[in-house]
Chains A and B, each alone.
Chain A
Amino acid sequence: MIRCEGVTHVYQRGSPFEATALEDVSLEIGAGDVIGIIGATGSGKSTLVQHLNGLLRPTAGRVYLDDVDINAREVDRRRVRQQVGLLFQYPEHQLFEETVTADVGFGPRNLGLAPDEVRERTARALAQVGLDPAVFGPRSPFSLSNGEMRRVAIAGLLAMEPRMLILDEPTAGLDPASRREILDHIMRLRNARGLTIVLVSHSMDAVARLCRRVVVLDRGRVVAQGPTRDVFADPARLAALGLGVPQVAECARLLRERGVPVRPDVLTVEEARRAILDVLAGVAGRRPAPKKVP
């Protein structure tokens, strides 16, 4: 669906503050993919995702949406942004309308849609993030909890009916229940509507739980990309890049260090539980439970 070819981005080119934020980045995101982008602070994650919906133009290289160069002169960038929705960090700071309904409807109104269509899309988008339009619609966005405000911001993107959603740290600053709710809604949307998801996050646990593929950035370059399980199977490398692995993967690594032959590539609590039980069942002389890779 989206393809970056040799994308380089230089900020303040030709000035004493010139800084290369991205260097020769190539990657492909297929329709329906769920991709995680991880990297230390300053590795270029936010710069990269702003190229995916045409907010930034590459200094060199190209970005294609369905094989069309989105920075070509004749391409309508507003249409690109409608198809590729980008949720910035702390999006609740961008809520501004008097009611939730008005805020979520802002984008569709600007598309010039009929009021009925705007109303319908707004109600649908709110329902998709688990907020009852009748209850939350008339309320002021500023009377909501942080988690609810975050969901209103996501509904604002969904009301544009995008095909792809880019989420830059969507759960930062939220309590564990709100984190889980937001991630669950995102996955439900993906499954129900085939939405393509790009998740930028410092939470290795969230990336491990949601993403099928992971792209690792370091100082503006892609230094690893592949299936989530493969990327997280190299904890030493990730640590050197300022990153980590999910806690249960760290536990599996420590177990191997202690001579317990647990599978190193576990990603979730349930996988880790099964892997450890397999090994213990083996030494207890019982028949090990059948290995099942989810």
Chain B
Amino acid sequence: MSDLAPALIRVRGLFHTYEPGAGEPVPALRGVDLDVRRGECVALIGGNGSGKSTLAKHLNALLLPTAGEVIVDGLDTRDRDAVWAVRQRVGMIFEHPDDQLIAAVVEEDVAFGCENLGLPPAEIRSRVDEALRIVGLEALRRRPPHLLSGGQKQRVAIAGVLAMRPRCLVLDEATSMLDPAGQREVMETVLRLRRDEGLALVLITHSMEEAALADRVVVLAGGTVALSGTPAEVFARDDALRDLRLEAPPIVALARGLAAAGVALPAGLLTAPQLADAVAAAYRRGRGEA
């Protein structure tokens, strides 16, 4: 990690303990360190109850540290005066699209966050137009959100966050309620935003296929970071993953099975196109073409 490019988000020694009204306090995070650099895509994976969603809520000051600190673009989330600036920089997309949409038509929904920033109407208009264009929903701007598909609803939620001009999007299981087309739609949208707008992404997901698309995978277990590295490094740790209630994506398992049977494949194959290219090359070598 280069010191020249300071992290957009810096989490140091983060502890979080939930204090229920009755009963024992529940420690959810126990000393987490995490950096998210500008424009980086980090996947946060882990078993149920590992602390992923708790950590996510710290990234935009929805929760505040019991101990430790979270610094977003130089702002300490514990600083009360910085809360809105933090939330403007880090936008959250949650699992249930219906819980996030509130207005009667799409463009009003997209404008909602900007209105709360107190921006002048002309500025809001231009930001909403731009956000709708970026997520490809201009044609549906006057539709009531409840008539949209799940994938479209999530894109509306993303547009609402984009209109705030954030530096980072945190997607907390944002595709888990969607059908395969909706999942593709949302993932293509956010990966494009990262490429074209330089947005950092934090993907919290139970989908190992989605995690394989990240630059870096961080595995949480019992409220601490248990494993981290590139997707290829993390998904190569089969035994560790099993202990952490995770598993490699099917393509990684297939590549491993082929390599074990003596097929010469490069290391670190993660996606179906990568594996298909590598196997096709082995096939051509076998035919004496290469």
Contact = CB atoms under 8 A, between A and B. Distances in A.
B286 A284 contact: yes
Interface string A23-56: 0000000000000000111100000000000000
Contacts of B272: 247-248, 250-251, 254
A178 B245 CA distance: 7
Interface stretch (B5-13, B42-50, B157-165): B42-50
B76 to A, nearest CB: 32
Nearest to A283: B286
Interface stretch (B58-66, B77-85, B253-261): B253-261
Contacts of A175: 46-48, 50, 206, 245-246
A272 B263 CA distance: 14
A169 to B, nearest CB: 9
Given A242-B181, A255-B276, A147 B246 contact: no
A65 interface: no
Contacts, number: 124
Given A202-B178, A269-B257, A280 B282 contact: yes
A172 interface: yes
Nearest to B23: A143
B169 to A, nearest CB: 20
A248 B251 contact: yes
B120 interface: no
A277 interface: yes
B215 interface: no
A276 B260 CA distance: 13
Contact of A283 (B47, B261, B287): B287
A224 B15 CA distance: 51
Given A175-B48, A269-B254, A40 B286 contact: no
A40 B149 contact: yes
Contact of B261 (A145, A243, A273): A273
Contact of A173 (B151, B206, B276, B283): B206
A246 interface: yes
B280 interface: yes
B286 A41 contact: no
A260 B283 contact: yes
A225 interface: no
Interface string B134-166: 000000000000000111000000000000000
B182 interface: yes
Contacts of A202: 178-180, 183
Interface residues of A, number: 44
Nearest to A177: B245
B18 to A, nearest CB: 13
A194 B208 CA distance: 32
A243 B180 CA distance: 5
A248 B176 contact: no
A260 B280 CA distance: 6
B104 interface: no
Contacts of A42: 149
Contacts of B115: none
A145 B51 CA distance: 12
Interface in A257-294: 257-260, 269-270, 272-273, 276-277, 279-280, 283-284
A248 B249 CA distance: 10
B290 to A, nearest CB: 11
B250 interface: yes
Given A41-B182, A172-B176, A269-B253, A277 B149 contact: no
A273 B48 contact: no
B173 interface: yes
Given A202-B178, A284-B286, A277 B261 contact: yes
Contacts of A147: 48
Contact of B283 (A239, A250, A279): A279
Nearest to B253: A269
B276 to A, nearest CB: 4
Contacts of B273: 254
Interface in B1-59: 46-50
Residue from A176, A205, A244 whose CB has the most chain B CB atoms within 10 Å: A176
Contacts of A172: 176-177
A145 to B, nearest CB: 5
A272 B261 CA distance: 13
Contacts of B254: 248, 251, 269, 272-273, 276
B49 A146 contact: yes
B130 interface: no
Nearest to A45: B179
Contacts of B246: 175-177
A189 interface: no
B261 to A, nearest CB: 6
- List of 4 A-B pairs having minimum Cβ-Cβ separation, nearest first: A283-B286, A242-B181, A177-B245, A254-B276
Given A41-B149, A247-B249, 4 more contacts: A173-B176, A174-B48, A176-B245, A260-B283
14 contacts: A175-B47, A179-B206, A204-B180, A205-B250, A243-B180, A244-B181, A244-B184, A247-B250, A258-B276, A270-B257, A272-B254, A280-B286, A283-B286, A283-B287
